[in-house]
Chain A
């Protein structure tokens, strides 16, 4: 804890859809997930959200259709033999334009989304390239400003959810002094394999923000329980995670054997919560956890009135 750096991270809200983080340069077509004002490729302030870009492309396509019909109408009127024919062509053309315009207005939301799908599908290589450049940019500022590097990686991680970015974020978080009021994340940082820094982070999150310890984290901890136990603070990490799990009955039922192994190390408030959960539902199949809880209660809290 002593070497950890106190940091202030800017608040971060992940968009509902990952493409909400993506912007594209109207000039050079480079994609970015970072919130810079100017495109790092061409230096122009021409970055727009991909959804807006797709809507503009769809609008342009629709305008081109209208223009085509208008030009054909004009051509028809131009080649008309007499005034009556000209008037007829103009009127028919106007009706076609009106009908097409009405159809376009109705189809606009669906067309915008289709244009977005096409834009991303067609440029997926450019999107990957842009995100890789973003990642390199984040890594390049790591030495001078690790907080900024973390913030950049956090933005990129909305789209790049693989282990590489998550591992870099975990390594950076390891150097920060975590606080309860921080925008902490958990499930997004889980890796495929065992990582001691991640295990330490899980332990800290379990102490600071129990609500972030959910199914996937519990499964991760259970999978690498043996490796965590070998760590210096391993038992404390596992006890903190077990303490977090007892906040929900579902977790207690699902991870009863895991909780049972660390029930003796739970702080009083967490053990009381476990005791109350089990006492409230004595007929559930607790998989031996109820017996273990009774034993611990007898041994440690026998005279405690709250455990009556």
Chain B
């Protein structure tokens, strides 16, 4: 019985991981976004002007 419980836990864990990948994949972060966020954090309020 205990082995089925552990197997159930393994199953739920796997499903949670896959679900997480799936949900994250639906709202992926792209490089432009990361770049923009990094530059804004580093130069916040001190962006180039002209």
Of the listed residues A76, A81, A104, A219, the one surrounded by the most CB atoms of chain B closer than 10 A to its CB is A76
Are B21 and A106 neighbours in the complex by a CB distance under 8 Å?
A: yes
Chain A, interface residues (CB within 8 Å), range: 35 or more
The verdict on A120 contacting chain B, using a C-beta distance below 8 Å, is yes
Q: Which candidate, A121-129, A254-262, A285-293, is the interface stretch facing chain B?
A: A121-129
Report A-chain residues with C-beta under 8 Å of the C-beta of B7.
72-73, 76, 89, 92-93
- Contacting residue for B34 out of A17, A104, A128, CB 8 A: A17
Q: Which residues of A contact B33 (CB under 8 A)?
A: 117
Partner of A72, one of B1, B9, B42, B46: B9
Task: Count A-B pairs with CB separation below 8 Å.
Answer: 134
Write out the residue numbers on chain B whose beta carbons fall within 8 Å of the beta carbon of A299: none
A21 to chain B, nearest CB (A): 10
Which residues does chain B contribute within 8 Å of A162, judged by CB atoms?
43, 46-48
Q: Kindly supply a per-residue 1/0 record for chain A positions 244-273, scoring 1 wherever the CB is within 8 Å of any chain B CB and 0 otherwise.
A: 000000000000000000000000000000
Instruction: Quote the shortest CB–CB distance from A150 to chain B (angstroms).
Output: 18
| CB within 8 Å for A79 and B10 given contacts A117-B29, A121-B37 | no
Q: Which positions 4-41 of chain B face chain A at CB distance < 8 Å? A: 4, 6-7, 9-11, 13-14, 17-18, 21-22, 24-25, 28-35, 37-39, 41
Whether A160 lies near B28 (C-beta < 8 A) is no
Give complex CA distance A99, B21 in Å: 12
- B10 is contacted by which of A17, A72, A117, A127 (Cβ under 8 Å)? A72
Q: How many residues of B contact A (CB 8 A)?
A: 36
The listed residue (A75, A128, A190) touching B48 by CB distance below 8 A is A190
For residue B3, which residues in chain A have a CB less than 8 angstroms away from its CB? Answer: 75-81, 85-86, 89
The distance in angstroms between the C-alpha atoms of A85 and B35, with both chains bound, is 52
Q: Which residue of B lies closest to A78 (CB)?
A: B3
Find out whether the CB atom of B9 lies under 8 angstroms from the CB atom of A120.
no
Q: Which residues does chain B contribute within 8 Å of A281, judged by CB atoms?
A: none
Q: Is the CB of B21 within 8 A of A69?
A: no
A161 to B43, CA, bound (A): 6
A111 within 8 A of B: yes
Interface string of A43-77 (1 = CB under 8 A from B): 00000000000000000000001001100110111
Q: Which residues of B contact A (CB under 8 A)?
A: 1-4, 6-7, 9-11, 13-14, 17-18, 21-22, 24-25, 28-35, 37-39, 41-43, 46-50
